[in-house]
């Protein structure tokens, strides 16, 4: 039996020392990495890999945004809540919220387009991948 499509995932992680700057806070560039790690965890939860071994597919980013609300520091435990905000014929758009406990740390979005790698060209998301995801609908 095929599991139902998923639309969200919560990914927990701890800040590593090398992710911080001289002020002791996480460097701004890491927040997109955290969102991307959560995206990959979402795909694994759907039973897939964003880099399928048997396909000549890729999902490069065509848009990414982050708004910062509070800092993260070394050894902080935090969570990235990622949601599928939209699926089109060729793109996935994700929204993410990074929190430490009840504190909102950052919010952002990533849009990825499905491509064939050789030659590099945008293509439709394969049906077997698209049906594993659903757009998040708030309760």
Q: What confidence score (pLDDT) does residue 106 get? A: 98
Question: Which pLDDT score, from 0 to 100, does residue 129 have?
Answer: 94
Q: Which residues of the chain have pLDDT under 50?
A: none
Percentages helix, strand, coil for the chain (3-state, rounded to 5) are 15, 40, 40
Top CATH class, 8-130: alpha beta
In terms of Cβ atoms closer than 10 Å to its own Cβ (0-12, 13-18, 19+), residue 54 is exposed
> Exposed, middle or buried: residue 81 (CB in 10 Å: 0-12, 13-18, 19+)?
middle
Distance CA 58, CA 126 (A): 12
> Do 52 and 9 touch, CB atoms closer than 8 A?
no
| Distance from C-alpha of 112 to C-alpha of 105, rounded to nearest angstrom | 23
Give the pLDDT of residue 7. Answer: 97
Q: Does the model's pTM come out above 0.85?
A: yes
Instruction: Name 5's bridge partners.
Output: none
Give the SS3 label for residue 42. Answer: helix
Question: Domain coordinates of the chain in residue numbers?
Answer: 8-130
Structure confidence at residue 37 (pLDDT): 98
Position 11 scores a pLDDT of 98
Per-residue pLDDT of 93-114, as tens digits, reads: 999 999 999 999 999 999 999 9
């Amino acid at each position: 039996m095929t599991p139902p499509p998923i639309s969200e995932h919560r990914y927990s992680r701890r800040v590593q020392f090398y992710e911080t700057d001289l002020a002791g806070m996480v460097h701004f560039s890491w927040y997109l990495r955290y969102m991307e790690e959560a995206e990959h965890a979402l795909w694994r939860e759907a039973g897939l890999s964003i880099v399928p071994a048997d396909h000549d597919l890729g999902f490069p980013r065509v848009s990414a945004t982050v708004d910062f609300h509070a800092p993260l520091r070394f050894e902080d435990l935090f969570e990235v809540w990622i949601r599928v905000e939209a699926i089109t014929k060729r793109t996935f758009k994700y929204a993410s919220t990074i929190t430490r406990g009840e504190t909102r740390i950052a919010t952002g979005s990533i849009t990825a387009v499905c491509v064939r790698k050789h030659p590099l060209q945008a293509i439709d998301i394969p049906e077997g991948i698209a049906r594993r995801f659903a757009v998040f609908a708030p309760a």
